[in-house]
């Protein structure tokens, strides 16, 4: 049975809601400490899971060694004192006891174990590298670690407590649906799932995960929208006799090529920039143009995919078929200009996400 709900993730900036500078420094220091322990915990958990899985490959051990990954109480050949999932929790909770909330450890245990089991065959064949985590990785937490989210009219922000640390949202000039989603959560109309908190570049971001019902539209699965992606026209969609082109080559590329030219000039001029802080300061302008190009691409792909889904809804198309995409991606890889300037895979992922939200089935051919 298909689920009638979908999970949406929104990146929301939050700030420490305390009156004095000393209190804010203490709170932010605690958050940084938790993030540090979380990334170390994740690496330790993955290492233990990998060793357990590959233990039977250690053929050079004595023949008397038992290596069945089961509890010794349930199986005579078992070598574990507890369940396999609980082993990684026990190892990390003992090592970091009192240094971070156990809620974070439990969330990491569940997510990492699920991901590892999904990829364990690829690990065994050597087709997939073991997961590795960096210091700025976001750490997870459930709603049990949060107090009730509510809107404070005086502060003009949504406020909540994360493990007793008061936080408030900073939405800025938000033109998306973040404010509306937070309001529905505060009113009990929407469910908040396991989310993450990330501290990066001096800012704190809450990666909030909302679970909401799929949009209901009168769609007919028998009506098929045939979609073709190309460089000349980003999206060409056909439903029956209705044919529609979304975007064009000039409209998409003119701005991107201008940003790339500006970035190239910044790279040439970086030699004469004042250093002071080394590479980071000299390449500050280059990095700004790189981020500007990235934001432009994401914005255009969002617009194209949104227009496609709106067209399908208008014509009640319940099935969306992407035609001959493997061949086109292969051609794009052979041509450097196309590969650099057109994001087929990114556009496909956005189409799939928006189609799932409204209940349209996507078939990639």
Both 251 and 202 in one domain: the answer is no
Of the candidates 231, 276, 209, the residue with the CA atom closest to the CA atom of residue 6: 209
Do residues 24 and 18 make contact, with C-beta atoms less than 8 angstroms apart? yes
Q: Which two tokens stand for residue 252?
A: 């998409």
- Residue 85 in this model has a pLDDT that exceeds 70: no
What confidence score (pLDDT) does residue 205 get?
Answer: 92
Q: Judge if 261 and 139 occupy the same domain.
A: no
How many independent structural domains does the chain possess? 2
Distance CA 74, CA 96 (A): 29
Q: Is the pLDDT of residue 308 over 50?
A: yes
Could you list the residue range(s) of the whole structural domain that residue 297 is in?
220-364
Regarding whether 290 and 156 lie in a shared domain, the answer is no
49 and 114 in a single domain? The answer is: yes
Span 122-139, mean pLDDT? 83
Q: Per-residue confidence at 311, pLDDT binned at 50, 70, 90?
A: confident
Mark whether 205 and 281 lie in a shared domain. Answer: no
Site of tokens 């208008």: 314
1 pLDDT above the threshold of 50: no
For residues 286 and 341, which has the higher predicted lDDT (pLDDT)?
A: 286
Final residue in a domain of this structure, among 149, 179, 213? 213
Q: How does the average pLDDT of the chain come out, rounded?
A: 80
Beta bridge partners of 159: 150, 168
Residues 89 and 200 in one domain: yes
Name 9's bridge partners. 209
pLDDT for res 6: 80
Residue 3 is predicted with a pLDDT of: 66
C-beta separation of 44 from 132 below 8 A: no
Predicted local confidence at residue 62, as pLDDT? 52
The yes-or-no verdict on residue 281 having pLDDT over 80 is no
d(CA 30, CA 179): 27
Residues 265 and 288 in one domain: yes
- Predicted confidence band of residue 78 (pLDDT cuts 50, 70, 90): low
- Identify the pLDDT of residue 65: 53
Q: Are residues 235 and 111 in the same domain?
A: no
Q: Which of 203-207, 220-224, 323-327 has the lowest mean pLDDT?
A: 323-327
Residue 57 pLDDT > 70, yes or no?
A: no
Q: Is the pLDDT of residue 116 over 80?
A: yes
Q: Is the pLDDT of residue 76 over 60?
A: no
Note whether 30 and 165 are within 8 A (CB).
Answer: yes
CATH number of the domain that 282 lies in? Answer: 3.30.420
Q: With contact defined as beta carbons under 8 Å apart, do 235 and 217 qualify?
A: no
> Comparing 74 with 233, which gets the higher pLDDT?
233
Angle made by CA atoms 288, 290, 294, in degrees to the nearest 5: 115
Average pLDDT over residues 346-358: 84
pLDDT over 70 (residue 210)? yes
pLDDT tens readout for residues 157-185: 889 999 888 999 988 876 678 888 888 88
Angle between helix axes 325-334 and 344-358 (nearest 10 degrees) is 150
Give the per-residue pLDDT at 267. 78
Report CA torsion sign: 60, 63, 65, 67.
Answer: positive
Task: Indicate the pTM of the whole model.
Answer: 0.73
In the numeric block, the tokens 């501290």 are attached to 199
The answer on 108 and 193 residing in a single domain is: yes
Q: Any idea what the Cα angle at residue 108 is, between residues 213 and 15, rounded to 5°? A: 70
Least confident of 109-113, 130-134, 137-141, 172-176: 172-176
Last residue of a domain, one of 165, 186, 213: 213
Of 194, 213, 232, the one marking the end of a domain is 213
Can you tell me which residue has the tokens 């939050």? Answer: 14
Bridge partners of 204, per DSSP, are 14, 199
Q: Is 163 found in the same domain as 29?
A: yes
Same domain for 38 and 184, yes or no, is: yes
pLDDT of residue 326: 63
The position carrying tokens 């909401």 is 212
Mean pLDDT (whole number) for 279-301: 83
Region 201-230: mean pLDDT is 83
Looking at the fold, whether 40 and 161 belong to one and the same domain comes out as yes
Better-scored residue on pLDDT, 273 or 311: 311
Question: Which positions ≥6 away from 49 have C-beta within 8 Å?
Answer: 88, 112, 113, 116
């Amino acid at each position: 049975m298909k689920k009638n709900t979908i999970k949406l993730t929104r990146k929301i900036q939050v700030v420490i809601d305390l009156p004095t500078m000393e209190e804010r420094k203490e709170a932010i220091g605690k958050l940084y400490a938790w993030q540090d322990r979380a990334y170390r915990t994740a690496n330790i958990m993955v290492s233990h899971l990998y060793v357990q899985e590959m233990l039977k490959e250690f053929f050079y051990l004595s023949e008397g060694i038992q290596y069945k990954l089961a509890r010794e109480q349930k199986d005579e050949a078992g070598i574990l004192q507890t369940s396999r999932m609980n082993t990684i929790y026990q190892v990390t909770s003992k090592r970091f006891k009192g240094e971070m909330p156990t809620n974070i450890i439990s969330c990491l245990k569940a997510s990492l174990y699920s991901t590892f089991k999904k990829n364990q065959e690829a690990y065994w064949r050597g087709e997939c590298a073991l997961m590795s985590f960096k210091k700025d990785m976001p750490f997870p937490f459930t709603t049990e670690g949060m107090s009730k989210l509510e809107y404070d009219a005086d502060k003009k922000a949504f406020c909540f407590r994360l493990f007793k640390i008061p936080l408030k949202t900073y939405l800025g000039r938000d033109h998306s649906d973040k404010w509306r989603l937070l309001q529905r959560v505060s009113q009990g109309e929407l469910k908040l799932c396991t989310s993450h908190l990330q501290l990066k570049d001096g800012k704190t971001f809450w990666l909030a995960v909302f679970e909401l019902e799929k949009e209901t539209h009168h769609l007919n699965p028998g009506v098929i929208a045939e979609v073709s992606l190309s460089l000349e026209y980003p999206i060409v969609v056909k439903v029956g006799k209705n044919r529609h082109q979304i975007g064009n080559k000039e409209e998409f590329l003119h701005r991107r090529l201008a940003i790339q030219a500006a970035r190239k000039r910044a790279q040439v001029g970086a030699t004469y920039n004042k250093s002071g802080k080394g590479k980071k300061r000299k390449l500050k302008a280059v990095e700004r143009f790189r981020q500007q190009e990235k934001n432009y691409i994401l914005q255009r792909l969002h617009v194209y995919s949104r227009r496609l889904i709106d067209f399908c809804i208008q014509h009640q198309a319940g099935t969306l078929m992407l035609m001959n995409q493997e061949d086109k991606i292969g051609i794009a890889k052979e041509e450097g200009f196309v590969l650099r300037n057109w994001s087929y895979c990114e556009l496909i992922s956005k189409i799939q996400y928006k189609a799932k939200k409204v209940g349209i089935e996507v078939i990639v051919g």
